[in-house]
Copies of this chain bind each other. A is one copy, B any other.
Amino acid sequence: MFEAAELGHVIDKKTFKEEVTRLRADLLEAQFELREKCGFPVIILISGVDGAGKSETIHDLYDWMDPRYLSTQTFTDPSDEESERPFMWRYWQALPPKGWIYVFSGSWYSLPIARRISGEIDQALFDQRIDQFNRFEAMLANEGALVLKFWFHLSREGQKRRLRSLEKDPRTAWRVTKESWERLKTYGQLQEVASHLLRMTNTPWAPWIVVEGTDDRYRSLTVGKMVLDALQQRLAEQHERHYPVAPPITHKIDTLDVLTALDLTQQIEKPKYELRLARAQGRLSELARSPEFKKHSLVLAFEGQDAAGKGGSIRRLVAALDARQYQIVPVAAPTEEERAQPYLWRFWRRIPRNGRITIFDRTWYGRVLVERVEGFCSEADWLRAYAEINDFEHELSADGVIIVKFWLQISKEEQLRRFKEREQIAFKRYKITDEDWRNREKWDAYHRAVCDMVDRTSTGAAPWTLIEAEDKNFARVKVLETVCERLEEVLQVVSPAAAEAAPEEKIVRKTDEKKDKKQ
């Protein structure tokens, strides 16, 4: 892997000067065009062996381009804001908006490499991360990002020489620390880990470029030219690239599906409703305050047809919570800053810290529902979204975020009844818009989209709970009780209130439904 980077590439001063004059002008032009077009985000990873000239090259990039539209991202020990959120959160926060070039000095690769060398994680865990990164980078590339990954290599002898010469120069001596020398001892391990890593993450959408680090001029010029080539090529491209990550949708051959299978006649009468609601609220209130919850956070996702009662369910739910502990995120059109980022970015930024709760009123599933049905994005885009969403939720849940997802289902007749009812109410906030009526016309298309969504994204870590919402009381109780059950399951806590509930009162959960129907 690294043989070609130990050949002793050298560029003489004169050639360098000539080349740089041209390179700098071209880079500035390309960068200007990127900004003018607000084209795409550019992510440049600079990784590799200590002393191989990472900061020198970053310095040169700044010198050659307009430094105002460059930014360097570094990652030291995670802050408490960061360490209380999933591993990838800090990297999502650091992504460049469209038109910007961010240089990553250190990246999602750094920590796993260090941990693998020190033996803190085994090969299986390391490979799990590798897989995660490949998927993450595929998502970035499919969202239009240009991802360039550089690995600066030095032979063992070369590294020793570089460190010594850095140490001698008073301007650079500070950069050689005790740790640099320490790490020289693990040179062999780094090579082993890195060569495996590079091989496994050298993908068509985010290839690695190995650069010999010995000669300053050779190294920087190589990187500069590679960046320029990639920029020019991408700027000239007429079509976006797509890296398929998902199989196509297969068509149903009968009318039986998860939605038609729902029994919408289920209801709960008022006195019983009030009792069960109060009990579930008490349970939830205790669970959210339990010491076990402080090591987790909770993400609730609400989807459903217009007027299916998401708002009402959310109100009953938050009534049990301390207002300082949760945040409701109503998902409408993305803001300008959000539109300049991959579509999951706006959800990542709202992921709660430990001990906190975020409730999404409409969610990232907009991509495979409204955007698919209305044609706001291409088929390739919504098709890959299933896999990306699964990855997203998997990353959250693997790091302790508890995810509960609800689809609230009502019949077409019930929706019409509620629309008409709302038209009678004077409150402006309830007014039915033309859009609501238009959405209604696409009932069947939405129906199919929901079925595909449940089919592809109901995972072990983040299953969908379908809520029969024809009766509001039933829906509200089922939502609350489902949240309680999930919390109890994950936190391994049984609330006394739960134990109190008579078994016949318990609402059957999705997974138990089949069993139950047979009885």
Contact = CB atoms under 8 A, between A and B. Distances in A.
Contacts of A25: 427
Secondary structure call for the A interface: helix
A32 B428 contact: yes
Given A68-B314, A323-B103, A29 B427 contact: yes
B28 A427 contact: yes
B315 A67 contact: yes
Contact of A311 (B29, B68, B319): B68
A322 interface: yes
A459 interface: no
A282 interface: yes
Nearest to A80: B79
Given A80-B80, A335-B335, A323 B72 contact: yes
Nearest to A322: B55
A91 interface: no
B330 A29 contact: no
A189 interface: no
Contacts of A74: 324
A80 B80 CA distance: 7
Interface in A90-118: 103, 105
Interface of A: 25, 28-29, 31-33, 36, 55, 58-59, 62-63, 66-72, 74, 79-81, 103, 105, 171, 174, 282, 285, 289, 311, 314-315, 318-319, 322-324, 327-328, 330, 335-337, 361, 427-429
B429 A29 contact: yes
Contact of A428 (B33, B81, B427): B33
Contacts of A428: 29, 32-33, 36
A198 to B, nearest CB: 23
A372 to B, nearest CB: 24
A324 B282 contact: no
Interface centre among A25, A79, A324, by most chain B C-beta atoms within 10 angstroms, is: A324
A203 to B, nearest CB: 27
Given A171-B285, A337-B337, A323 B62 contact: yes
Contacts of A323: 55, 58-59, 62, 70, 72, 103, 105
B68 A361 contact: yes
Report the copy number of this chain in the oligomer: 2
Contacts of A58: 323-324
Given A68-B314, A74-B324, A174-B289, 8 more contacts: A29-B428, A31-B429, A68-B311, A69-B330, A71-B328, A72-B323, A80-B81, A337-B337
Nearest to A361: B68
Contacts of A28: 427, 429
Nearest to A35: B429
A67 B29 contact: no
B171 A282 contact: yes
A71 B429 contact: no
A43 to B, nearest CB: 15
A428 B337 CA distance: 26
Give me the 7 closest cross-chain CB pairs, A-B, nearest first: A32-B429, A68-B330, A336-B336, A74-B324, A72-B323, A58-B323, A68-B328
Contacts of A105: 323-324
Nearest to A62: B323
A67 B300 CA distance: 15
Nearest to A97: B335
Contacts of A174: 289
B318 A67 contact: yes
A56 to B, nearest CB: 10
Contact of A63 (B314, B319, B327): B319
Contacts of A66: 311, 429
A436 to B, nearest CB: 16
A190 to B, nearest CB: 21
A68 B171 CA distance: 55
Contacts of A361: 68
A428 B235 CA distance: 15
Contact of A335 (B68, B171, B318, B337): B337
Contacts of A32: 427-429
A496 to B, nearest CB: 10
Nearest to A425: B25
A428 B80 CA distance: 44
A125 to B, nearest CB: 28
Contact of A81 (B31, B81, B336): B81
